[in-house]
Amino acid sequence: MERVEFGDFYRNKKNAVFLAIYVKEISPWKYFNDDIKSMRCPAIIMIDRWDGRMGFPGGTVDEGEELIDALVREVKEEIGINVKPDKVHAIASHEWKIATHLYGLEVQEAEFLHIYYHILNNFSRSILLHAYEEGDKSHFMSEITGIKIIPLVQHAGKGINYFLENSFAGSAKNELLIMLNELFKIKIEPKKN
């Protein structure tokens, strides 16, 4: 897998687009009663895929479709939110079997938590529709089995460096490492046993 210039240059291959929804500062532990209580850190939203790997919401670009249009469509299908194209920015592209393109959506803490809550509501609704065979056009259950907020922090030898040991889909781990290094200036330290 090779990092390549971002953009719509890889039409000789299948393309896929993904979205990293992130906040630069959040207080995930503000209700704890120890030293981590006042810690603020960046965080991202990631999905649990049907195959047990983690990734970002998104999917394949249809033939003739623009990358940004595919992103809007795929994010709506997968997590039920409407993305405004003028609010996202390019993060990284990779080329291997397919060409992958990661976009970013930076939001403030309240909006980040609202988006997460909205996705959980959509996911819950989809599960009920699935259970009662009411028909559900979303891709919850068939493609996504869960979502999570990932605090991007190292604390007491734990945190993001442990999280990176999980199984990731396609280029998701490489893209997360790029975000950590270039966007958040977080250096990954070897984990302590």
Whether residue 44 has pLDDT greater than 70: yes
Where in the sequence is the domain holding 92, given as residue range(s)? 2-183
Residue 193 within a domain: no
Q: What is the pLDDT of residue 193?
A: 57
Q: What's the pLDDT at 138?
A: 53
Q: Does 32 or 133 have the greater pLDDT score?
A: 32
- Number of structural domains, the chain? 1
Is 67 contained in some domain? yes
pLDDT given for residue 134 in this prediction: 59
Burial class (CB in 10 A: 0-12, 13-18, 19+), 7: exposed
In a domain, 35, yes or no: yes
For residue 92, what pLDDT is reported?
A: 95
CB burial string 105-118: b at 16+ within 10 A, e below = bbbeeeebbebbee
Q: Is residue 191 part of a domain?
A: no
* CA distance linking residue 40 with residue 155, whole number of Å: 12
CATH number at 120 reads 3.90.79.10
188 within some domain: no
Contact 101, 16 (CB under 8 A): yes
Supply the DSSP string of the chain, one letter for each residue.
-EEE-SSS--TTS-EEEEEEEEEEEE-TTTT-SSGGGG--EEEEEEEEETTS-EE-SEEEPPTT--HHHHHHHHHHHHH--PPPGGG-EEEEEEESSSEEEEEEEE--HHHHHHHHHHHHHHHHHHHHHHHTT----S-BTTTEEEEEEEE--EETTEEHHHHTTS-B-TTHHHHHHHIIIIIS-PPPPPPP-
Assess if residue 64 is contained within a domain: yes
Report pLDDT digits (tens) over 102-124.
999 999 999 999 888 888 777 67
Considering the chain, what is the average pLDDT of its residues? Answer: 86
- Is 24 contained in some domain? yes
Q: For residue 107, is it within any domain? A: yes
Q: Two tokens at 31?
A: 């209700």
φ/ψ region of 169 (left if φ > 0, alpha if ψ in -120 to 50, else beta) reads: beta
pLDDT, mean of residues 138-161: 77
pLDDT tens digits, one per residue of 47-105: 999 899 999 999 999 999 999 999 999 998 888 889 999 999 999 999 988 999 999 99
- Asked if residue 126 has pLDDT above 70, the reply is no
Q: Which of 48, 39, 103 is nearest to 79 (CA)?
A: 48
